[in-house]
A and B are shown apart, each in its own frame.
Chain A
């Protein structure tokens, strides 16, 4: 078991690329901060998976149903892995994390506080939101100092890369569709552009402990700016309009500059007071209650097998 005399010593270890493992004597400040971050990520995967699930019956065609089934399983599986890592940190049990989530005491990603109105919303989510989440997860993976989280992230990122390819396929298909289909996507883009931008969060504070402790490797504003540079020309290339009247291309820097970002909608989602927060959280809680018998049955079967093996 490794230990560090104080936070300065820990900082030197982390700045040198050191990786913390669960059996180390982990300073409480680090443990709390990293736990909260992983819990937020786990909650987001679970809420995201439930959103994907809602669209399985409505996905057009067998192949897309298969894709949405798989994405649902991926996200729930990611949540599963992340809750395992988080619960091991001994700040809260898995049940406590779920109870807190379902009673609205903890947070999850802003993008899951909005309703997906049409199939085009699902395409916008797969193309835009998944890409934003992918960019921020990759930046966490890059320097992640907590070993078990870094290992899980590696797999999550591989799978999110696969989701993004599905998103690109779906976008291409609707972009080449009828005027009605294109109008549907434009309407969805109008709804999802800003939440995708806001997902990166406001500018990182100067002394962000997540940056100092090598959980995040990049400041929020840098990731957000790179995202805008990539997705503005792509969407415009498909002939769609970015719903930002103040967006302009700065000839001097060769960069796209978005208009002023309103952070109030993000703050509302972080209080679980977004447009669809109540319905999402209640739905997740109900889902958990409705499936209690499955978990009980699995536990009983597991116990029976264990007895038989003993």
Chain B
């Protein structure tokens, strides 16, 4: 899409682009927006319709970065008035689980049995609510998760770190 000066192409706003980016889901958590995961840091757009989207990776070695950037580019480019999109993975600033919204926490716990460590260091079982969950391994299926076990309902639990 190209913005032609002098025509009535609408100006895209930062909010329009944010809303479009919020439709992008994490490839490993279908149903969870990358914005709710706290990956979106900033959006800028100029008069020519050049949008810049800055993202923060959970882990710099995350293998989904390329795919997420591609999805974000497609989503932002579809916003009327956007002529060009630049997606940047920031190398400064650190992602932490604190950046998750309440809704992302709920979905991860209920749909994926993935929880965050609480302030006092304990883990709350997403299946039965027990606080007896114990860490079992620092090595989970992805860089951003470790493994734990709930001895009460006897289910594996994963911890987003």
Contacts and interface: CB of A to CB of B under 8 A. Distances in A.
Interface of A: 21-23, 63, 66-67, 69-71, 73-78, 80-81, 84-85, 88, 147-148, 151-152, 154-155, 158-159, 161-162, 165
A162 B28 contact: yes
A22 B153 contact: yes
A81 B153 contact: no
A88 B154 contact: yes
B155 interface: yes
B63 to A, nearest CB: 3
The 7 closest A-B pairs by CB, nearest first: A77-B141, A70-B63, A22-B154, A162-B27, A84-B156, A74-B141, A148-B155
28 contacts: A22-B154, A22-B155, A23-B154, A66-B61, A67-B63, A69-B63, A70-B143, A71-B63, A73-B139, A76-B139, A77-B141, A80-B140, A80-B141, A81-B141, A81-B147, A81-B156, A84-B136, A84-B147, A148-B154, A151-B113, A152-B156, A155-B112, A155-B113, A155-B141, A158-B112, A159-B141, A162-B28, A165-B27
Residues of A contacting B: mostly: helix
Nearest to B112: A155
Contacts of A69: 61, 63
B102 interface: no
A75 B140 CA distance: 10
A70 B142 contact: yes
A21 B127 CA distance: 11
B52 interface: no
A302 to B, nearest CB: 9
Interface string B22-53: 00000111100000000000000000000000
A76 B61 CA distance: 18
A298 B74 CA distance: 44
A206 to B, nearest CB: 34
Contact of A158 (B30, B62, B154, B155): B30
Given A66-B63, A67-B63, A80-B140, 10 more contacts: A22-B155, A23-B154, A73-B139, A76-B139, A81-B147, A151-B113, A152-B113, A154-B111, A158-B112, A159-B141
A73 B142 contact: yes
A80 B145 CA distance: 13
A78 B29 CA distance: 15
A80 B139 contact: yes
A160 to B, nearest CB: 10
A117 to B, nearest CB: 25
Contact of B27 (A85, A148, A161): A161
Contact of B147 (A22, A80, A147): A80
Contacts of A152: 113, 156
B86 interface: no
Contacts of A67: 63
A22 B151 CA distance: 10
Interface string B116-158: 0000000000010000000011011111010101000111101
A309 to B, nearest CB: 10
Contacts of A148: 154-156
A76 B142 CA distance: 10
Contacts of B137: 80
A161 B11 CA distance: 36
Contacts of B113: 151-152, 154-155
